[in-house]
Structure formats: C-alpha cells, structure tokens
Chains A and B, each alone.
Chain A
Amino acid sequence: MTPEQTGTALTEDEVLDRIRTTLAEQKVPGAETASLDATWSDLDVDSLDLVELVKTLEDEFEVTIHDEELKPIASVGDAVTLVLRLDAERGAA
C-alpha cells in the first residue's frame, strides 16, 4: 500500500527501499544493498542520477524537494532524513 492509502507517516525503511530500488533501476552498481552511510560518491551517483532520484521520490512520496534542500544531501541517509522531514512537515501542515 502506498502512504496515501494508509494515511500514516512514512518509515525509514520505506524510503530507504524506494531509494535503493530507484538507484537500481538507474543501474547504479551496489544500489540494492546501499547503506545509509553510502555517499553519492561511493555509489558513483552523478548529478543527473540525482535529478532522476529526486523526481521519483517527489512523485512517490508527494513531497517537493527544492534545489537548496538538495545541496547538502550527500548520502543515502541524508536523502532518507530529508524525505522523512518533508513528509512530517506535510503531515503537520
């Protein structure tokens, strides 16, 4: 079930899974087992891969990720934290 169907807040695992799947679809080596600590540099994720990932996360989780929020995001864990924060803000709004 999607988050909209459940109406509950996202979990870290849900977001991590989606990031792994998306990066795997983008043919990023090691994406399926990427840890929260893995940086874009470790994974060889470039700026275009990141744009694609952001677009998928925005569509999937119905959040908007602005460019300035994206700049400090350097790892899988950073991205998970950002999505969870945006989801919580949306829920609180």
Chain B
Amino acid sequence: MSARDDGCALVTGGTRGIGAAVADVLRERGWKVVTLSRNGGDVQADVADPEAVERAFAEARERFGPVHVLVNNAGHRRDGLAIRMSAEEWGSVVETNLSGAFHCTRRALDDMLSARWGRIVNVSSVVAERANPGQANYAASKAGLLALTRTVAREMARKGVTCNAVLPGVIETDMTADVADGLVAAVPAGRVGQPADVAACVAFLCSEEAAYVNGAMLAVDGGLAA
C-alpha cells in the first residue's frame, strides 16, 4: 500500500496521454487523484501561470487534501529548426514544460514538507539527452527538468521527499501521432511504447518502496537511449 489516506496525488496534464495513464494507475494504487489541466480535469490552470497554479493547488488542497504526490507531466511541442524558431515558440514551450513544473513543485513542497513525505516525478523525455533536430525548445525544457529534478532531490532528501524523472521515448499519444511512425525504426524494441509503460514506472517512483530512489533518471524508451 503506497497511498496515504490524508493526501492526494496531483497529475498535471492528467486528462490525456501519459498523464491520463498515470492518473489511472495511481487511482488503482489507492490514491485520491487530482488531474490538473488547462481545460477539463479536476482543477484548471495553465501551469505556465504561477498565480493560476497557486489557485489550483489551493482548490485541490481544499477539496482533496494536501498534495503528497506530484507528477509534472503537462507539456507541449512547438517544433521547428532553431534557425527559424521564434522567441515566442521558444518561450511558450519552456514556460509550460519547465517553468510550469517549477511552479507546481514550489506549491507541492509546502504540503510535502509539512507531511515530511512526498513524491515528485517529472516527466522528461529521451530528447533531453539525445538530440532531435527541430526540438531545440522542447529538448532544452526537458533537459532543464532533469536539473530541476536533481536539485530538488538534493534539497529535500532529508525531509522524506523524493524527486525523480522518467524519460519516455516514442510513446503512442496524440502528441506524437505525427512522428511516431517515422521514429519507430530507431527503437531497439521495434515498437512504440504505450502510456501504460510510462505510468507503471511513475507509479513505482511514487510508492513507499521507492523511498531510497532519489534524483534518478529512468529511461522508458525501449532502449532508444541505450
């Protein structure tokens, strides 16, 4: 049993793709799950907006209890070669994927410190460590998440709070529908991954059993980065 009765698990971008699969698995493990997304979800916020995040966390806390698990999964892509990438395309991806994770982490840590227990999992990407032309903004945001992960892991380790990252490879979701077929040839496993493949790893990192796993980078990519 990993879920704690008095707290909840908040999953950003939890209504679709990997986030929805994570929400399902955490629910199966007994967690009260709160999905956060811009539209729909249990609470609404654009994670890039720190004030909206603060309001959403206050609402989550009020309705579901303190946040003891946070899965920073909200993200989006605006692909293009760096030579043609606008500042707006760069900024919007970094603000959502990286700053958004920080804003949510910032809010969740208050509850986790009070509980002296917490699990944060950041959903990074294989492109954080393996370049993919056309994704300078996305890759930079996902690599930034790894540095955020390691730093928070070190800062909070003494307080029973862990912070880890998963690095999904080519996962079959709406977000990768346009590119998955072209990338599958590079995957040693010979197939794309499913959201459930990632969700299982996230659920482990959120469990009591993973208490001594901290600052880890777990590739879930069928061997793509190996």
- Contact residues of B between 88 and 134, Cβ < 8 Å to A: 110, 113-114
> In angstroms, how far is the closest chain A Cβ from the Cβ of B63?
20
Complex contacts, A48 vs chain B, CB 8 Å: 155-156, 158-159
Query: In the complex, A87 Cα to B78 Cα: how many Å?
Result: 51
Given contacts A48-B156, A48-B159, A52-B113, 7 further A-B contacts (CB under 8 A): A48-B155, A48-B158, A51-B113, A52-B159, A55-B110, A55-B113, A55-B114
Q: Mark A50-64, 1 if CB is under 8 A from B, else 0.
A: 011001000000000
10 chain-A/chain-B pairs, Cβ below 8 angstroms: A48-B155, A48-B156, A48-B158, A48-B159, A51-B113, A52-B113, A52-B159, A55-B110, A55-B113, A55-B114
Closest chain A CB from B58 CB (angstroms): 15
B binding-site residues for A, Cβ under 8 Å: 110, 113-114, 155-156, 158-159
* A52→B161 CA distance, assembly (Å): 13
Which residues of A sit under 8 angstroms from B159, Cβ to Cβ? 48, 52
Residues of A28-54 contacting chain B, CB below 8 A: 48, 51-52
Contacts of B156 in A (CB 8 A): 48
B158: chain A residues at CB < 8 Å are 48
By a CB distance below 8 angstroms, the chain B residues around A55 are 110, 113-114
Instruction: Write the nearest CB–CB distance from A82 to chain B, whole angstroms.
Output: 20
Q: Which 4 A-B residue pairings sit nearest by Cβ, starting from the closest?
A: A52-B113, A48-B155, A55-B113, A55-B114
Q: How far is the CB of B117 from chain A (nearest CB, A)?
A: 13
Chain A residues whose CB sits within 8 angstroms of the CB of B113 once the complex forms: 51-52, 55
- Tell me the bound Cα distance from A48 to B155 in angstroms: 8
B98 to chain A, nearest CB (A): 23
In whole angstroms, how far apart are the Cα atoms of A50 and B172 in the complex?
45
Q: Give min CB distance, A52 to chain B, whole Å.
A: 6
Which chain B positions have C-beta within 8 A of A52? 113, 159
Report the separation of the CA atoms of residues A12 and B114 in the bound assembly, to the nearest whole angstrom: 24
Identify the closest chain A residue to B157 (Cβ): A48
- In the bound assembly, the distance between CA atoms of A48 and B159 in angstroms comes to 9
